[in-house]
Amino acid sequence: MTRVFSGIKPTGHLTLGNYLGALRRWVEVDQHRSEALFCIVDLHALTVDHDPARVRRLTRQAATLLLAAGLDPERCTVFVQSHVDEHTRLSYLLECVATDGEMRRMIQYKEKAAREQRRGGSVRLSLLTYPVLMAADILAYGADEVPVGDDQAQHVELTRDLAVRFNQRYGHTFVVPKATRPKVAARVMNLQEPTSKMGKSDDSGPGIVYLLDEPETVRKKIMRAVTDSGRDVVYDREERPGVANLLEILAACRGGDPEDLCGAYASYGALKKDTAEAVIEVLRPVQARHRELCADPAYVDAVLRAGAERARKMARPTVDAAYRAIGLLPAL
Ligand code: TYM
C-alpha cells in the first residue's frame, strides 16, 4: 500500500492556501487510498523568532483543525512532530550527507533569511538546516508520496537527493519519495499582492483568508481583492494574476477548471461575489466541526497520543537501520 506523509507548520493560523493546496486532498484522497501520516511539525516553528506560548497554542489549533477538516484518526495517523524523537535523530544523520551549498540554494531559506535580516533580527542556524529536518520527517516513515503545495516542491526534491545519496553511500535504507500536488490551487496567492503566495506567517492580514475567518470577513477580503484595470474575465497567471487567483480559488472550491469558468463572468464583481460564497460554503462545515472539537479537548489529546505512539513504531526501524548503515555502534 502506498505510504503518504505530509506536515503543516504551526507558525500562524491556517489559511485557505493550506486548505486548498494540501489539507483538502489529505482528507478527500490520501487518507482513503493510502497509509497516511499527517504531522503538525512544531519543531519547524522554532526556526524563526517565536513566542513559546503561541507555538503551543497554534499546535493545538492546527491539530484541531486537521480533524475538523475531516482527517479521520481511524484511517490515518495524526501527531505532533516533537512527540516522536525519530525526527531529530534522523535529521542529524542527514546533516552528515547534505552540504552547506545545497542548503543555501533553497528558495525559502533565501527569502526567510532576507526577511529576518530586514527586520533587524539574526538568522537561526535551524532555518538553514530546516529542509534536512523536513527530509527526516519524510524518510523516517518510508513515505512514497508527499502531498504538498507548490512551495514545498524544492524541499521534496532535496529529500529525494538525500535519500539517493545515503542509499548509494551506505546501502539501501530509504524509500525515495515524490511530491504530489493538486491540479488547481497548488499556489494560492495573497489577495492583496497576487504575485506573492498566501502565507500564514505573513503580515498582510487583508490578503489572507484564514480557515477560521467569519463569513463576513471572508466576503470583505475577497470583495476587496486586488485585480487590475481590465474588465473582461480571462485566466492569465502572468498578466492578470489577481483574477487568475480568484478563478483558481473558485475552481478549487466548486470543482472544475479555472479557464472554463471565465465565460460565465462578465465582470470582476460577479466573479468576486461567487468566489466569496464558494469559499464560505467550503469553510462552513470545517468551522462548525472545529467549534465542536474545541469543546472536547480530551478527544484531541487522545488522538495525538495514539498518533504519536503509532508514528514512533513506524519510524523506529528505519531510523535504527540508518544508524547502523552509517557506521554507528548499536547501543550495548
Ligand atoms: P506549511 O506549513 O507552510 O504549509 C502546509 C501545506 O500547505 C501548503 N501551502 C499552500 N498551498 C497552496 N497555496 C498556498 N498559498 C499555500 N501555502 C501553504 C504547503 O505547500 C504545504 O503542503 N515545510 C512545510 C512543512 C513540512 C512538511 C514536512 C511537509 C515539514 N515537514 C514533510 C511535507 C512533508 C511547510 O512549511 O508547510
Same domain, 125 and 265: no
Do 23 and 14 contact (CB within 8 A), yes or no? yes
Measured between alpha carbons, how far is 95 from 78 in angstroms, rounded to an integer?
26
What residue owns the CA closest to ligand 1's atom 26? 7
Q: Which amino acid is at 295?
A: A
Reference 84, options 133, 50, 34; nearest CA is 133
The DSSP secondary-structure symbol of 29 reads: I
The reported pLDDT for the residue numbered 231 is 79
Measured between alpha carbons, how far is 268 from 274 in angstroms, rounded to an integer?
10
The reported pLDDT for the residue numbered 205 is 84
The reported pLDDT for the residue numbered 232 is 86
Measured between alpha carbons, how far is 61 from 47 in angstroms, rounded to an integer?
19
The reported pLDDT for the residue numbered 189 is 97
10-residue stretch averages of pLDDT, the chain, 332 residues long = 97 96 97 97 96 97 98 98 98 98 96 91 95 98 97 97 98 98 94 93 84 97 91 90 96 93 92 98 98 96 98 98 97 88
Same domain, 134 and 84: yes
Q: Compute the distance from residue 104 Cα to the ligand 1 centre, in Å.
A: 19
Indicate the number of domains in the chain.
2
Return the C-alpha cell found at 278. 464558494
The reported pLDDT for the residue numbered 197 is 94
Return the C-alpha cell found at 49. 523568532
Do 63 and 40 contact (CB within 8 A), yes or no? yes
Query: Is 313 known to sit in a ligand binding site?
Result: no
Same domain, 281 and 320: no
Question: Which strands sit side by side in the sheet containing 178-180, from one edge to the other?
Answer: 76-80, 35-40, 3-8, 145-147, 178-180
Measured between alpha carbons, how far is 155 from 118 in angstroms, rounded to an integer?
24
Which atom of ligand 1 sits closest to the CA of residue 130? Answer: 23
Give the ipTM.
0.99
The reported pLDDT for the residue numbered 203 is 67
Same domain, 278 and 310: no
Q: Compute the distance from residue 331 Cα to the ligand 1 centre, in Å.
A: 36
Same domain, 171 and 74: yes
Tell me, what CATH number does 167's domain have?
3.40.50.620
Same domain, 304 and 260: no
Same domain, 154 and 238: no
Q: Is residue 200 part of a domain?
A: no
